[in-house]
Structure 1
Amino acid sequence: SNVDLYVFGETIRDYVALLGSLRETFNQRVKNYGVWTNAQKTLQSKRDSEAKMQTTGKTDKLPIVQAEIKDWEQKEKDAEKAFNKCSKVLKREVERFETVRTKEFKAKFLEHLEALMHMQEELIRLWEGYLPDVQAIEAES
Structure 2
Amino acid sequence: MQDILTLGIVIDEYIRLIASITKAFSQRQKAYHAWHSSESKLQALKSQQEKLLRAGRTQQDRIQQMQADVVESERRCHAARLLFEDMGRLMRGELERFEREKVEDFKSGVETFLEGAVEAQKELIELWETYLYQLDADEDGPPSVMPAGVRAAQLPEEGKSDAQMRREAAKSQLEAENAAEEGAAGAGHGDERDGEGDDETGSLSGTTVMDSEDIISSGRVSGETAHEGMGRRGEGEEEER
- Report the TM-score when normalising by structure 1: 0.91
Q: Could you tell me which residue of structure 1 aligns to residue 42 of structure 2?
A: 43
1:135 deviation in Å? 1.4
Equivalent residue number for residue 135 of structure 1: 136
Deviation at 1:37, TM superposition (A): 0.6
**Deviation at 1:71?**
0.7
Report if aligned partners of 1:36, 1:83 keep a CA contact under 8 Å in 2.
yes
After TM superposition, give the deviation of residue 132 of structure 1 in Å: 3.2
**Counterpart-to-counterpart distance in 1, 2:132 and 2:30:** 67
Q: Deviations over 1:19-52 (max 9, x none)?
A: 0110111111011111111110111111111111
Q: How many Å separate the matches in 1 of 2:23 and 2:66? A: 37
Q: Which runs of 5+ in 1 are unaligned?
A: none
Aligned equivalent of 2:65: 64
8 Å CA contact retained: 1:29, 1:87: yes
For residues 106 and 15 of structure 2, what CA distance do their matches in structure 1 show? Answer: 11
Letter matched to residue 36 of structure 1: W
- State the partner residue of 2:109: 108
Q: Distance in 1 between matches of 2:132 and 2:70?
A: 89
Identity percentage of aligned residues: 29
Shift of 1:73: 0.9
Q: Distance in 2 between matches of 1:17 and 1:81?
A: 28
User: Following TM superposition, by how much is the alpha carbon of 1:111 offset from its aligned partner in structure 2, in angstroms?
Assistant: 1.3
Higher relative contact order (CA 8 A, sep 6+): 1
Report how far residue 15 of structure 1 moved: 0.3
1:132 and 1:55 map into 2 onto residues whose CA distance is: 103
Cα distance between partner residues in 1 of 2:134 and 2:15: 49
Q: Could you give the per-residue CA deviations for residues 61-103 of structure 1, whole angstroms, max 9, x where no partner exists?
A: 1100001111111111111111111111211222222222222
Matched, 1:82 2:83: yes
Is the contact between residue 18 and residue 97 of structure 1 (CA under 8 Å) also seen in structure 2? Answer: no
- Does the CA contact (< 8 Å) of 1:8 and 1:109 recur in 2? yes
SS in 2 for 1:55: helix
Structure 2, unaligned stretches of length 5 or more? 142-241
After TM superposition, which residue ranges in structure 1, 4 or more long, deviate above 3 angstroms?
129-132
Q: What RMSD over aligned residues (CA atoms) do the two structures have, in Å?
A: 1.5
How far apart, in 2, do the equivalents of 1:4 and 1:51 lie?
70
